[in-house]
Structure 1
Amino acid sequence: MHRYLYLLLLLLLLQQGVNAQDTTRNTDSIALMGGKETTTLQEVVLIGSRGIGRSRLNTPVPVDVFDIKKLQQQSPQNDLNQLLQYVSPSFNSNRQSSSDGSEHIDPASIRGLGPDQVLVLINGKRRHTTSLVNNQGTVGNGSVGTDLNAIPASAIERIEILRDGAAAQYGSDAIAGVINIVLKKNVHQLFASATGGLSSRNDGGLGQLNLNYGLPLGKQGGYLNLTGETYYRGRTTRTQDHDLIIFDQSALGNFFAYPFANDPAASRKYDDDKLKELGLTRKDFNFQIGDARIKNAAGFLNLGLPFNNGKGTFYAFGGYSFRKGEGYGFRRLPSETENMVYSIFPNGFQPNTTSHIHDRSLALGVKYYLGQWEADLSNTIGDNRFDYFVNNTVNASLQDKSPTSFTAGGHEFLQNTTNLDFHRQFAGIGYGLNLALGAEFRVDDYRIRAGEEASWRNYGLRQNADGTVTDTLGLSGGAQSFTGFSPANVTHKSRNNTSLYADAELDVTHRWMIGGAARFEHYSDFGSTINGKLDTRYKITDHFNIRGAVSTGFRAPSLHQQYFSYISTDILPDGKLGQSGFFTNSSAVAKALDIPTLKEETAINYSLGFTAKAGNLSLTVDGYLINIKDRIVLTGSFGYDPFGDPVPEIQNILNPLGASSARFFSNAVDTRTLGIDVVADYTWHAGPHTLNISLGGNFNKNSITGTHVPELLKGQESIFFSPNDSILIVKGTPRVKANLALTYSYKRFSTTLRNVYFGEVARNSFPYGSVQQLKGKVVTDLSVSYTLKPVTFTIGANNLLDVFPDKQIYDNSYYGVFKYPSAQMGVLGAFYFVRLTVNL
């Protein structure tokens, strides 16, 4: 129903725009509301071309431009991921729960593709990814993304999102598109913002302070723009009573949840009597489910220093972010005898995983004019370090001697990129030719560090004289909830990449523009690739353009995907010590199962659309088709069937190699993404009154067109690529997402009403659960601002009507533990905020 209302409104806007008198200049602009006057800025975008910027409506491929300063002042959202989630229809980011590191770094994607299929730039330079591999069955499972929330929103002037394949222009990862973050350059302006908020359930409390100030440098227009941000977000609890057996009922023959009890009524009575005896209730044994607690502090700088009368410019930008997150694993109930140390936690325990995440980056460069050529030499280094600490838990195999906190190790990723670019305008060729040439040399470095011994070792295992192993205790080893990285997981790998590119745009006539790009890349670990792109734009009239593009793309397998391992120790059927968990593709186990080494994903992107402008109305409509071959995914555990029973023919291969089960990364599937983006913007002025209406929609369908199962694993398709992972790709993000925002301003008063429609998604808890379709929902945001220069006071709400995803069906809830899935708008519910902003 909501999608038809959006379509009706769009048609009304188009009619109004055609009838409106065109009093604007023949340029594309964006209106910034929030005061008596309306300032108009030309939307000149830098992304998509390495030459001079074009206006948003004149680019040959779709580009969105978001004024972060304005969003940060009026939007209820407070971090970069959530800001983009609520203004960009093609962008999706969900906070996760009970998912280890993915609770602390939010996965984000464009057009329903993977987090690692979008490239992030800052000031046009490649941003490093995180060191985290998402491996807990969330959207983007098996992928490595970029931590946008490590970048303070107050440091950003605007964000440009290129919604088209751009690997030929910018390199690996740009299959779905590119996000370019443009930092502030302003001087003599102080921006300060303080925000506080709380959810309707009195949790998820927020406190945030932002400061930004620019200093002039020298006499040639130099600047130093500095930003600081501190951020606190409290945890949320979205739990409910479950049906798991709480206390040890092994004497009754009951070992798991009520549906498996011999006598469910007697089993429940046993628990109820025990609870009454201890003065407790079932709620005291509920799991902690919800958003993680986050503390974040970050600083950023952006520096530009012209010299030689503006002929050259030295520049630098970068920053440091430290985040401390606290997420929660599965509660250990006292009925789980193999996990318990009753002298420490007689009634079980709720483990939590604390993260320390350091994110550092620095770019240095010089731009200089060599005759009519502009040269740009730069070096960008970025590093992400993630350390794990597990608390309120035990290593059961240590019994009474077990600590309750463990240092569990971590991972780190460093990337250093050196670029040399040349650019020139040729005015005498056609109606103007822009040519760019360049080279890039990049080094990637990935490592895993072991945790303390007690975090991963099982102290009950004893080696016998004949080489067999005995479990003398029958208790679990390692830190419960998150077992630490062991010495067997430790790795330190690096690689380098060299690339050459050429990028050209020619205005053949004043109406017709064509462009092309070609890129050669050579990786030290898997070889070379060549990619190209052709695009064009034709002006039917001064206010109506047709545009389209075709390109090939690629994404290199990350070092994380090639070398991540997370192996635990167990006992094989022959009584000897074995291993299970994540193995690398270069391991003997992978070779024995015929798992090939990873290669690059390849893609072909097609797009076709139009842009139109009528009076104060602008409209863009772009259709796209993205075919991806050899997409990298994470397999299930070979050696067991989906129900956990051993598969003899696979065990016969694994056991002689000292393994009982194994997971891998694999180029397992081909996918197709088909969709259309619609963006409309209309601004109406009448004296001191201004109304802006912005409507955007993304209609997107992902499908799996092929799988690549090794011959040896035929019959293991549900393990090789599980129905759970399949549905995350096909229906994990909304097929329809639409944003409708109305901003009205009158003198010092301004208000924004925004509705976001999150379309239907699906989840699957195979093999024990079922496929569940989660209905589309509309989330309403409302904010009201009053400005008494230089101060603006804002109050408002995100999700004003307290909308949640559909409750999980019982089969998918782990016997009632999980009330809601981490999908669509997330599980925060209504959130109310107040904000004080100072602009001096």
Structure 2
Amino acid sequence: MIKILIPASFLVLISHLAQAQQDTAVLPAPAIRNLNEVVTVGTRSTGRTRLNSVAPIDVFHLSKLQILAPQNDLNQLLQYVSPSFNSNRQSSSDGSEHIDPASIRGLGPDQLLVLINGKRRHTTSLVNNQGTVGNGSVGTDLNAIPAAAIDRIEILRDGASAQYGSDAIAGVINIILKQNTHQLSAAITGGVTSRGDGGLGQLSLNYGTGLGKQGGYLNITGEAYQRGKTTRAQNNNLIIFDQSSLDNYFAYDFTNDPAASRKYDDDMLKQKGLKRDDFNFQIGDAQIKNGGVFYNLSLPFNNSKSEFYSFGGYSYRQGQGFGFRRLPSDPSVNVYSIFPNGFQPTTDSRIHDRSIAVGLKHKLGAWQADLSNTLGDNRFDYRVDHTVNASLKEASPTEFKAGGHEFLQNTTNLDFSRRFTQVAAGLNLAFGAEFRVDDYRIRQGEEASWKNYALITNPDGTVTNPSGLAGGSQSFTGFSPENVIHKSRNNTGVYVDGELDVTSKWLVSAAARLEHYSDFGTALSGKLATRYKLSDVFNVRGAVSNGFRAPSLHQQYFSALSTDILPDNTLGQSGFFTNPSKVAIALGIPKLKQETSVNYSLGFTARAGNNFNISVDGYLTDIKNRIVLTGSFGFDANGEAVPAIQHIINPLGASSARFFSNGIDTRTAGVDVVADYNLRRGPHSFNASLGFNYNKNKITGNLHIPAGLKGQEQIFFSPNDSILITEGTPRVKANLSLTYGYKKFSVLLRNVYFGEVSRNSFPYGEVQVHKGKVVTDLSLSYALKPVVITIGANNILDVFPDKQVYGNSYFGVFKYASVQMGSLGAFYFVRLGINIPH
């Protein structure tokens, strides 16, 4: 008998599900996971399955998920089926509103490697820098890949730097594109939230055809969708109208009466025929329009001894996010002749994501050779609308092109592999080389988007702003000439990877990788793993590996000004400066160096007959010199301005300064449990799928703070940044999916438990624990070939995160934090699918 101890917090999920079943007729979809399924990630041997692999691997079939799942983009699909995967939409966070950060096991987005068909996928050009999970990191835009183009997704939940590259510290996501032929598929989805916003319209088309007489194919996907904004605002307690010159106004005793400011605002609202609701901030999901095409091509030749292959695609996204509303109470940021009642600025994105891979496979005797080149590019341009450059006064435009950033990556691989059947019970040997070029640039915005025209250079050389008017486009300041950069580097790596079946029961795997960065030197990564079959149905496995991650070009060279809530609880300009900058040198901020990691894992897999399987894996990941963003220099731990630092950064248009630093060491420990039960009896089919993740992140040892900054530990790495790492993602996350099918009907009932998380708004707020929540999905599908109709809901019980305590809400502006399941609420949808053979 196997006993599994389940934390008390997970019992909420079981209890909630039992109650839901009393009221809901649970009607099946085929299992989306199967321990006997062959996998391609985590091994270069053929025929490995989830049951006999040396590392934990999840496999999710997108075509099956997309029939019943209420989620429509790739990040959200994985959020609800993979317990170790985390991604939620952000609000009022500049670029992170348009590209959702994603991670596994609570580690950074840049510690997760994404592959397509086994080839490295480029990251985005965006640095997450607005206090979101993954703050200071660079991830991969999974939503740029049409879900309809994907056959399945394999998630390797183990360190794999030695196998795939130095940034595979947390694990690897391998996306396998569709290869189906002689088929046309289409799906139309429409949906809306329970509050009547966030409307979705989505169309996807997939077509596959055979090529030649040796099994070639071409599969093409087109997808387009539009997602409306959501509004989760509430009244706030900010002062609406300018009262700076009314201190002695006879009707309002501002000095002795705390309510006088509110009374004045209320009187002005009545006089202008306005309501306090008219001055709420726009808080919620951004509006997104996205279109993309993807293809997957294979052309075998030479009697199938050789194969030419290619895949890639193009995605174009327009987003409209919202910055902090500029209330008319602040004359330094307003032009009253243009916006007499202030304005709600928008940050609009134009994102181009392009990729193409070409390759040639060829059998050289008993060896399999693979030569490929993969090129990927992500370009992000900003426009700021419904705003002003206050320093231009009446001459200010209301729309600005604010510049942008771009990241290009080109990867060339040459790989060889062979199976030696005569060595022990079998040896698979692979080796190869990789050459990669990274290129990063920041482009300047138009002059009015970044310049402050009110600055005056005095005879003594000092720069002052006697009018106090703010420069640049309000909400998102354009990239200035000082931010413009164009840098590149190259990386050369060689690897060897072996899997030895010592006996029919005992498998040993080893890999080593030597990498040389043109800007960070040479490092060696290794991995040793083993799996032993105690019986035909029970395996134990374990692994140990180390990794090396050089700072990305983005982390080395990104600089910008952005509007943020400063440590004194006011809106102001926060500057991001490079480590070689004069500001960084003046403060003693050191240059960046590489992160290093060590991973350990131990677990087992088991199955009972053909119906039930389970895997349990524990893990431990230590990361040294982890790259993080510092806090805001320019203020002390009490939120008071520090004149000596302000004197350095104010002429640069900033009130605070942040940097990247190898500031901390972290340890991540946890356990994953994945179990499936499948049953088929005549026209009835049933599947129960359980996924559970317990994950604990903590900061170990002391801060790596420069000697000159001793005493400023809470500024160097602030409590709010610390809590994002240790408690920003749920410590416990679990999902239980039940699918039942009868003839033409199928039903999905899924409960996902998002454990508690914490947020801190230091220095003006407090630590708040957001309690765990259960989100319920329910959908019903009816198939009348070739058409399938599905109706259902995500979060049908309309569950939200806990409301923020007042001290963390910026005077009541932010009703909810962007945590756990986000603030979408219930989302209802209808989907029409069609599948036509040809």
Q: Same fold (TM over 0.5)?
A: yes
Q: Which runs of 5+ in 1 are unaligned?
A: 11-32, 570-578
Aligned mates of 1:68, 1:75 — CA distance in 2:
10
**Equivalence map 1:569-588=2 (5 Å):** 581-588=575-582
Quote the residue 2:432 is aligned against: 438
The verdict on how the C-alpha distance between 1:694 and 1:86 changes in structure 2, with shifts beyond 3 A counting, is: same
Quote the residue 1:286 is aligned against: 280
* 8 Å Cα contact 2:13-2:774 kept in structure 1: no
Aligned mates of 2:625, 2:420 — CA distance in 1:
40
How far 1:402 sits from its partner (Å)?
0.6
Do structure 1's residue 725 and structure 2's residue 732 form an aligned pair?
A: no
Quote the residue 1:572 is aligned against: none
2:616 aligned partner, one-letter code? V
**Equivalence map 1:250-649=2 (5 Å):** 250-253=244-247, 263-567=257-561, 581-615=575-609, 616-647=611-642
Do structure 1's residue 191 and structure 2's residue 185 form an aligned pair?
A: yes
2:11 aligned partner, one-letter code? Y
Residues 74-114 of structure 1, C-alpha deviation per residue, up to 9 Å, x if partnerless?
10000000000000000000100000000000000000111
How far 1:553 sits from its partner (Å)?
1.1
Q: What is the root-mean-square deviation in Å for CA atoms of aligned residues?
A: 2.3
Name the % identity.
73
2:467 aligned partner, one-letter code? L
* 8 Å Cα contact 2:463-2:651 kept in structure 1: no
Do structure 1's residue 4 and structure 2's residue 11 form an aligned pair?
A: yes
Quote the residue 2:224 is aligned against: 230
The verdict on how the C-alpha distance between 1:260 and 1:369 changes in structure 2, with shifts beyond 3 A counting, is: farther
How far 1:646 sits from its partner (Å)?
3.4
Quote the residue 1:752 is aligned against: 748
1:96 to 85, 90, 114: 90
1:388 aligned partner, one-letter code? Y
The verdict on how the C-alpha distance between 1:261 and 1:187 changes in structure 2, with shifts beyond 3 A counting, is: farther
The verdict on how the C-alpha distance between 1:209 and 1:8 changes in structure 2, with shifts beyond 3 A counting, is: closer
**Equivalence map 1:684-763=2 (5 Å):** 684-706=679-701, 707-763=703-759
SS in structure 2 at match of 1:96: coil
SS in structure 1 at match of 2:798: coil
Aligned mates of 2:33, 2:515 — CA distance in 1:
44
Residues 341-370 of structure 1, C-alpha deviation per residue, up to 9 Å, x if partnerless?
111100010000000000000000000001
Aligned mates of 1:6, 1:276 — CA distance in 2:
49
Aligned mates of 1:165, 1:734 — CA distance in 2:
21
SS in structure 2 at match of 1:424: strand
1:687 aligned partner, one-letter code? G
Of 471-480 and 235-244, more deviation after overlay is shown by: 471-480
1:672 aligned partner, one-letter code? R
Aligned mates of 2:115, 2:231 — CA distance in 1:
35
Do structure 1's residue 665 and structure 2's residue 672 form an aligned pair?
A: no
* 8 Å Cα contact 2:35-2:613 kept in structure 1: no
How far 1:544 sits from its partner (Å)?
0.2
How far 1:434 sits from its partner (Å)?
0.4
Aligned mates of 1:303, 1:261 — CA distance in 2:
74
2:526 aligned partner, one-letter code? G
How far 1:245 sits from its partner (Å)?
0.6
How far 1:267 sits from its partner (Å)?
1.3
How far 1:589 sits from its partner (Å)?
2.7
Aligned mates of 2:138, 2:404 — CA distance in 1:
15
**Equivalence map 1:808-823=2 (5 Å):** 808-823=804-819
2:623 aligned partner, one-letter code? I
* 8 Å Cα contact 2:737-2:751 kept in structure 1: yes
Of 264-273 and 651-660, more deviation after overlay is shown by: 651-660
The verdict on how the C-alpha distance between 1:262 and 1:551 changes in structure 2, with shifts beyond 3 A counting, is: farther
1:684 aligned partner, one-letter code? L
Do structure 1's residue 833 and structure 2's residue 822 form an aligned pair?
A: no
* 8 Å Cα contact 1:489-1:567 kept in structure 2: no
SS in structure 1 at match of 2:259: helix
The verdict on how the C-alpha distance between 1:261 and 1:117 changes in structure 2, with shifts beyond 3 A counting, is: farther
* 8 Å Cα contact 2:32-2:65 kept in structure 1: no
The verdict on how the C-alpha distance between 1:165 and 1:286 changes in structure 2, with shifts beyond 3 A counting, is: same
How far 1:587 sits from its partner (Å)?
2.1
Aligned mates of 1:818, 1:612 — CA distance in 2:
47
Aligned mates of 1:48, 1:471 — CA distance in 2:
59
1:121 aligned partner, one-letter code? L
Do structure 1's residue 153 and structure 2's residue 147 form an aligned pair?
A: yes
Residues 437-481 of structure 1, C-alpha deviation per residue, up to 9 Å, x if partnerless?
000000000000010000011111122333233424321111000
How far 1:673 sits from its partner (Å)?
0.4
SS in structure 1 at match of 2:394: helix
How far 1:167 sits from its partner (Å)?
0.3
The verdict on how the C-alpha distance between 1:101 and 1:253 changes in structure 2, with shifts beyond 3 A counting, is: farther
**Structure 1 length-normalised TM:** 0.93
2:10 aligned partner, one-letter code? R
* 8 Å Cα contact 2:349-2:383 kept in structure 1: yes
1:92 aligned partner, one-letter code? N
**Structure 2 length-normalised TM:** 0.93
**Equivalence map 1:138-177=2 (5 Å):** 138-177=132-171
Do structure 1's residue 794 and structure 2's residue 801 form an aligned pair?
A: no
The verdict on how the C-alpha distance between 1:567 and 1:488 changes in structure 2, with shifts beyond 3 A counting, is: farther
Do structure 1's residue 61 and structure 2's residue 68 form an aligned pair?
A: no
2:633 aligned partner, one-letter code? F
The verdict on how the C-alpha distance between 1:726 and 1:680 changes in structure 2, with shifts beyond 3 A counting, is: same
**Equivalence map 1:66-145=2 (5 Å):** 66-145=60-139
Quote the residue 1:19 is aligned against: none
Aligned mates of 2:281, 2:319 — CA distance in 1:
18
Aligned mates of 1:117, 1:772 — CA distance in 2:
27
Aligned mates of 1:675, 1:254 — CA distance in 2:
61
How far 1:554 sits from its partner (Å)?
1.9
Aligned mates of 2:773, 2:35 — CA distance in 1:
34
How far 1:636 sits from its partner (Å)?
1.7
Residues 230-260 of structure 1, C-alpha deviation per residue, up to 9 Å, x if partnerless?
01000000000000010111124499xx999
How many residue pairs match? The answer is 807
* 8 Å Cα contact 1:488-1:567 kept in structure 2: no
Of 440-449 and 592-601, more deviation after overlay is shown by: 592-601
How far 1:594 sits from its partner (Å)?
2.5
Quote the residue 2:3 is aligned against: none
Aligned mates of 2:784, 2:171 — CA distance in 1:
40
Aligned mates of 1:586, 1:838 — CA distance in 2:
56
The verdict on how the C-alpha distance between 1:135 and 1:583 changes in structure 2, with shifts beyond 3 A counting, is: same
Q: Which runs of 5+ in 2 are unaligned?
A: 1-7, 18-27, 564-572
Aligned mates of 2:676, 2:473 — CA distance in 1:
53
Aligned mates of 1:276, 1:69 — CA distance in 2:
56
Aligned mates of 1:493, 1:186 — CA distance in 2:
41
SS in structure 2 at match of 1:719: helix
Aligned mates of 2:303, 2:513 — CA distance in 1:
34
How far 1:584 sits from its partner (Å)?
1.0
